[in-house]
Amino acid sequence: MKDVYFMERDPYAPIRHCYGISKILYEGKSKYQEIQVVESHYFGKMLILDGVVQFTEKNEFFYHEMLTHPVMFAHKNPQNVLIIGGGDGGILREVLKHKTVKKAVLVDIDKDVVEVSKKFFPTVACSMDDPRAIILNEDGFKYIQDYKNEFDVIIVDSTDPVGFAHVLTTEEFFKYVFEALKEDGIYVGQSESLHYHLDIVVRFQKALKKNFPIVDLYTTVIPVYAGYWWSFSVGSKVYNPREISRDVDVETRFYSDEIHKNAFLPPNFYQKVLNGTFKY
């Protein structure tokens, strides 16, 4: 059987990614978004939400490890972790590799994403039944408003900041995040591509700076994301996210202490990004 081709449209930039697909395994529409699972000869199974690839079996570990471990290892003793979004379970899997963690709460508004991921991506959703995990299908923006001084680490694994996910990138949301974190808490969220979404990256950073005393930016290459050069924005109350506070003692495929130290933008270039002097 010959491949058919799926054309992904970036929601911001006038670019297209084209994927050869051998089989459509699932198509459905939840209350919030369109969900597809497709099979690719090269990438394996792929999760697609609203026409945008979220991850593939072949390289999901780059994203899930890099969104999780830099802040988890920057914190000295992360015991209580909140994940907003991430209904596929990949971030939960990585968080629960840390022996310090006593509770990990995953709050994803879309139950269908959770169920589809359990069925089609068992190696990603493999920690859903861990006794330390609590899975809630609620609005993360509303959920976080009920907590003060509760979490050591908050990780936001959201779709692109359009539609219902936009609220998770606002100053108001980051105010609630700050309040929900303990006095030495730390936050991280994916903040789009430095190549194609630079204005979003800068807006993210400036909104965090209105709430957190320590704000930083690190990056990695994600092969199936627009522009490949993907960014992660950090807001910290105490810890310098560039520094590792504990021994790196989890099993990973990509993340390491060396990767951690080299993932953050050089200070001079980081300032250029923030003040707008880095331009194409």
CA angle 203, 219, 55 (to 5 degrees): 95
Q: Taking the CA atoms of 178, 183, 189 and 194 in sequence, report the sign of the dihedral they define.
A: positive
List the Cα angle 154/116/82 in 5-degree steps. Answer: 10
51: left (phi over 0), alpha (psi -120 to 50) or beta: left
Count the neighbouring beta carbons within 10 Å of the beta carbon of residue 7: 9
**Residues paired with residue 44 on neighbouring β-strands, in sequence order:** 40
CB 168 within 8 A of CB 192: no
Name the catalytic one among 10, 152, 157, 216. Answer: 157
Q: Which two tokens stand for residue 276?
A: 């707008």
Does residue 157 carry a catalytic annotation? yes
- Residue 80: closest CA among 173, 148, 138: 148
Determine the Cα–Cα distance for residues 95 and 280; give it in Å rounded to an integer.
36
**Residue 89 in contact with residue 127, Cβ under 8 Å?**
yes
Report, as residue numbers or ranges, the catalytic residues: 157
